Every structure is written in C-alpha cells, then in structure tokens.
Amino acid sequence: MLILRKHFAMHRKWFATFLAGTAAAVFGYFFWAHQYATRWPGGSSPPGLILGILGGGIIVFECLLWPRRMMRSWRWGSARLWMKAHIWLGLLTVPLILLHSGFVWGGPLSTILAVLFAMVIVSGIFGLAMQQYMPRKMLVDTPLETIYSQIEQAMQMALADAQNLVLATCGLPKESSEVSAQPQPSKETHSLPSKASDKRDGGRVVIGASRQVELIPGQLLRTPVPQVPVANCEVLRQKFNATIKPFLERGRRFRSPLSNRSRSAEFFRQLRAVLDPEAHLVLEAIEECCEQRRQFDLQTRLHWWLHSWLWIHLPLSMALLVLMFVHAYVALKYW
Ligand code: HEM
C-alpha cells in the first residue's frame, strides 16, 4: 500500500479532493460528449480545453516543488502540505490529461508528451513507494545503520579495531615487513593493550576504543583479549589478511564469502574450530565487524534505491513542463 494505513487519516481530505475532481471531470466530459459530440471530444473542444488548462496548471504547480525545496527562504506552507498536494493533485492530472487527449495519441509532439507524462507519473508513484518502504526496511535489516556519508569513515574505524584485536591476540608478526604494516591508530581514541585505558579482566585485557565520527559519539568497543599472544594463532592472522581485511575495506566490491550472512557464519565456525578458545571472543568481535560491513553495504544499496528514482522523475518533469508549453503554443497557433 502506497500510503500506509496509519497515515491515511492525514490524506483523507486530499483523497476526497482527488475523487471529487475525477468525478467532476468525468461527468462534465461525458455529459458534454453525450449532448453535443459525435465522437470523443479532444483538446480543442470546450471540455477538452478546460481540462487541458486545469491539468497544465496542476503540472506547473507540481514543478514548483523543486524551487520550493531549493530556496530555503521561500517557505509557503509546510513541507507536509506541499507533499500531500503534490501526490494527490499529481494523480488528479491522470484523468484530466487522459480526457483532454480524447483517448488519441495525436501527432509526434503530443505522443512524446503523453509518454513523458506517463513516465513522470509512474516514477512519482515508484518514488512514493520507495519512501514508504525503504525506511521501514532499513529499520529492520540494518539496525547498525549510520549516517550515509560517514559509512566509509565508520568502516575504517571498525577495520582499525579489528586489526588491533588481531595484533593483540596473535602478537607481532614474525616477518619484519608485516611489522611495518601495523595498524595506525585512527582519529578516535584508540588503544592497544599497553595503553592506560586497558582493564584487567580475569587474565584478559580489555581493549577499549571510544568511537566518534565527527560530532556523533558512537558505541564503545570493549573486547577482552588474552594478556599474552595466543598460541597457533597464525591461521587467524592469515585469514584476516587474505579474506577479512579486504572485505572490511571494500565490502561487496571485494567478492567475498563474507558478504553472505550464512557463508560468513560458516567461515567463522570453521575458523573457531581450529583456533584456541582463548581467541574466540576476539573472533566474535571481528565477526561483528563483518556484520557491520554487510549492513552498511545493504544501507548503501537501499539509499541508492531511495534517492536515484528522483534522477528520472525530476528531469522528465522539467522536460514535460517545457514540451507542454510548446504543445500549448503550437495548438493555439493552429487552432
Ligand atoms: C504531472 C505530474 C508530476 C510532475 C510534473 C512532478 C514533478 C516533481 C518535481 C519537480 C519534484 C521535485 C523534485 C526535487 O525536489 O528534487 C517532484 C518530487 C516528487 N514527486 Fe512528483 N511530479 C508529478 C507527479 C507525481 C506523482 C503522481 C507522485 C506520486 C504519486 C509524485 C511523487 C513525488 C515524490 C514522492 C517526490 C519527492 C518529494 C520529496 O522527497 O521531497 N509526483 N515531482
């Protein structure tokens, strides 16, 4: 359902306006046709002309939504009122323009106009559906959602956290080349076990990292890691460098089993089976970072669907507006 039932009360008057407008147009058109015409009246007939002017006027009004949004100082009526008027008057143009056309395509210009009009209406309905559906889907499927523009920054922090956990659990790598690839502390307060924020926790050390992305304080990562490097931990380091790190860095762009939740669960189950139980809590924290990456990837996709339709709706609306004036000019010139 395009307009959710709980919001429908707010739309009732506009829905009634839409029904009344449609009924008046249909009645007026067919009454006139029955009385005075031998075929369906077109745009040059009295009812066709009146409906064309009304439909065209509404299309001009529909397009005013754009400057209204752009110009912050220009605030007539609330955004909600504009949106309700936009939806219901936009839908009202469908019967008005259909009757105005007299159910024929006409020449090439009016055919292009009709196709543009149909695409604007369909993209508008699609966009409205996205606006109703996506926020609810995000709430359910991406509980770790963050501000869209800060996804990559938040992910870099999660990666730095995960690298520090591997380093603290497995110790320094044997190869000197790997030593130089040690994680760099990121912008947020980040700490390795030697820092003052560490807490002793029954033979473990708690790594704490208070995260902050710009002005938004984030969650506190507190993962207990063993005080001394865990034996036979190289497999964790190797899997981390080969599979986990590229996935955390690039997400779905890096074709990885970790981008699928059940394959990821299997990957970590196998890793857990070969790792010392001492490292299991750390593994859990890293698995959580992968979940975060998956949710951020999903959030990016949903964000795309939520906003990209406007790149069709808006330019086509502007093209419709321009062509509509050309159509009116040509029609009146040769009337
Ligand atoms: C004659 C038909 C229509 C025209 C010319 C038109 C034009 C426009 C324009 C110019 C915008 C502003 C874009 C922007 O601010 O970036 C817009 C936004 C929008 N339109 Fe339409 N539209 C029409 C019909 C419809 C219909 C029938 C619906 C839905 C049933 C609809 C749904 C929307 C929605 C959801 C937005 C986004 C508003 C927002 O998020 O602020 N439109 N339209």
Of the chain, the end-to-end C-alpha distance in Å amounts to 43
**Tokens representing residue 234 in the block:** 């190289």
Residue-level pLDDT at 300: 95
Tell the residue nearest (CA) to atom 14 of ligand 1.
Answer: 66
- Tokens 């055919």 belong to 111
Please say whether the beta carbons of 265 and 127 come within 8 A. no
Q: Is 142 helix (H, G, I), strand (E, B) or coil?
A: coil
In ligand 1, the atom with minimum distance to the C-alpha of 127 is: 35
For residue 124, the CA-to-ligand 1 centroid distance in Å is 5
DSSP 3-state percent helix, strand, coil across the chain (nearest 5):
70, 5, 25
Residue ranges of domains in the chain: 7-143+309-333, 148-307
**Tokens representing residue 232 in the block:** 């036979």
Residue-level pLDDT at 69: 87
Angle formed at CA 310 by CA 305 and CA 313, multiple of 5 degrees: 130
pLDDT category of residue 319 using cuts at 50, 70 and 90: very high
Residue-level pLDDT at 212: 52
Residue 84 near ligand 1, beta carbon < 6 Å: no
How does pLDDT run across 151-187, given as a tens digit for each residue? 999 999 999 999 999 999 998 887 644 444 444 444 4
247: Cα within 13 Å, side-chain hemisphere: 26
CA-atom Rg of the chain in angstroms: 30
Residue 159 C-alpha from the chain's centroid: 24
Give the amino acid at 234. Answer: E
Residue 77 φ/ψ region, left for φ over 0, alpha for ψ in the -120 to 50 degree band, beta for the rest = left
Paired with 248 in beta bridges are: none
Tell the residue nearest (CA) to atom 33 of ligand 1.
Answer: 124
Residue-level pLDDT at 283: 95
C-alpha distances out from residue 185 to 60, 156, 157, 191, 239, Å: 55, 11, 9, 8, 22
H or E segment at 122?
helix 108-141
Is the predicted pLDDT of residue 93 greater than 90, yes or no? yes
H or E segment at 221?
strand 216-226
Residue-level pLDDT at 224: 67
Residue 331 near ligand 1, beta carbon < 6 Å: no
Residue-level pLDDT at 204: 52
- Using CA atoms, how far apart are residues 204 and 148, in angstroms rounded to an integer? 36
Residue-level pLDDT at 187: 42
Q: What pTM, to 2 d.p., does this model score? A: 0.80
Residues 6+ apart with CB under 8 A from 187: 157
Q: Best substitution site from 15, 54, 61, 62 to test ligand 1's pocket, by max atoms within 8 Å of Cβ?
A: 62
Residue 90 near ligand 1, beta carbon < 6 Å: yes
- Using CA atoms, how far apart are residues 65 and 74, in angstroms rounded to an integer? 11
Which of residues 239 and 215 earns the better pLDDT score?
A: 239
In ligand 1, the atom with minimum distance to the C-alpha of 64 is: 10
**Tokens representing residue 8 in the block:** 């429908």
In this structure, is the dihedral angle defined by the CA atoms of residues 186, 275, 196 and 176, taken in order, positive or negative? negative
Please say whether the beta carbons of 276 and 290 come within 8 A. no
